[in-house]
Amino acid sequence: MMTLGCHLSAANGYLSMGEEAISIDANTFQFFTRNPRGFKAKELDIDDCEAFNKYWAEHDGGKIVAHAPYTLNACSADQKVRELAHMIMKDDIERLSHINGVYYNFHPGSHVKQGVEIGTDYIVQLLNDIIKPEQTTIVLLETMAGKGSEIGRTFEELRAIIDRTEHSEKLGVCLDTCHIFDGGYDIVNNADNVMEEFDKVIGLDRLYAVHLNDSKNKLGSHKDRHELIGKGEIGLDALVSFISRDEIKKLPIILETPNDLPGYKDEISMLRAALNQCVMRNA
Ligand code: FE
Ligand code: FE
Ligand code: ZN
């Protein structure tokens, strides 16, 4: 069965997220490690971590994704803002060591007029500071839409970061379908070429997770506005055919569509049904 799930609120802890996921037929999920405003994390509850690990294994749960606060900016021109990103990400990685099978995804950041090169330098400094060879958690760079001065709009920009990261064996990529479409990669008409290019530039072995979102905007719009599956410019057919690709269907696939829990439940069941049909058609 495909590892499919959605973004959930972390307010009630890990076990509660695991139970919520199972209740909507999800076998993966994503959550924010802390409140993006104020950056405060809840007190780490080891009992909850252990209860979750046990529950998740019993229910055959797949890899899950922790998302760093999207308001962090590791490549800000302001040293204080950069230091905050180091501090928080170090602390997040330490906390995540208590959870089995979790990836840690983050947005590379916005260089804000400093240019991609200086921005990339700062991101590399961050990764070389926080990634330790003994850590179990893989850190993921998210592909970005290229809104404003976001770094990570092209596969080459991510490759440049990976190339200069010392322990790059702990570094991978999370592909967001809305972001790459807004970034100009045509997964509607040219998914084969897009994924070939991903493989050539970054390498498919670096791809650990997928954010599955439709987009409110057109190809190359650089906007980053997620839409419900099938209600946007990418469309249901293209998204279903994308996740039925051999290199994608084995990964954890996370919905970040504008939804409540019942809405996510419906999208998951619709996607599971559509994928089964796809498999039957190709059999
Ligand atoms: Fe994200
Ligand atoms: Fe995303
Ligand atoms: Zn987004």
SS3 (DSSP) at 210: strand
Ligand 2 mean position to 283 CA, how many Å? 32
How many other C-beta atoms lie within 10 A of the C-beta of residue 63? 16
More confident residue, 277 or 2: 2
pLDDT band at 278 (very low <50, low <70, confident <90, very high): confident
* Domain segments of the chain as ranges: 4-282
CA dist 153 and 206 (Å) reads: 16
SS3 (DSSP) at 48: helix
Q: Considering every ligand atom shown, identify the ligand nearest to the alpha carbon of residue 68 and give its number.
A: 1
Asked: is 4-282 a CATH 3.40.50.1820 domain? The reply is no
Contact between residue 111 and residue 70 where contact means Cβ atoms under 8 Å apart: no
Q: Considering every ligand atom shown, identify the ligand nearest to the alpha carbon of residue 183 and give its number.
A: 3
pLDDT at residue 41 above 90?
A: no
Ligand 1 mean position to 70 CA, how many Å? 7
Please give the share of the chain, as a percent, with pLDDT higher than 90. Answer: 94
Q: Considering every ligand atom shown, identify the ligand nearest to the alpha carbon of residue 256 and give its number.
A: 2
203-261 residue pLDDT tens: 999 999 999 999 999 999 999 999 999 999 999 999 999 999 999 999 999 999 999 99
Q: Considering every ligand atom shown, identify the ligand nearest to the alpha carbon of residue 141 and give its number.
A: 1
Ligand 3 mean position to 163 CA, how many Å? 25
Ligand 2 mean position to 194 CA, how many Å? 18
How many residues belong to the chain? 283
Q: Considering every ligand atom shown, identify the ligand nearest to the alpha carbon of residue 176 and give its number.
A: 2
| 249-276: average pLDDT | 97
CA dist 122 and 114 (Å) reads: 11
Ligand 3 mean position to 224 CA, how many Å? 5
CA dist 65 and 63 (Å) reads: 7
pLDDT band at 283 (very low <50, low <70, confident <90, very high): low
Ligand 3 mean position to 16 CA, how many Å? 25
> Going by C-beta distance under 8 Å and a sequence separation of 6 or more, which residues neighbour residue 2?
243, 249, 253, 271, 272, 275
- HSE of 116, CA atoms in CB hemisphere, 13 A: 13
Q: Considering every ligand atom shown, identify the ligand nearest to the alpha carbon of residue 210 and give its number.
A: 2
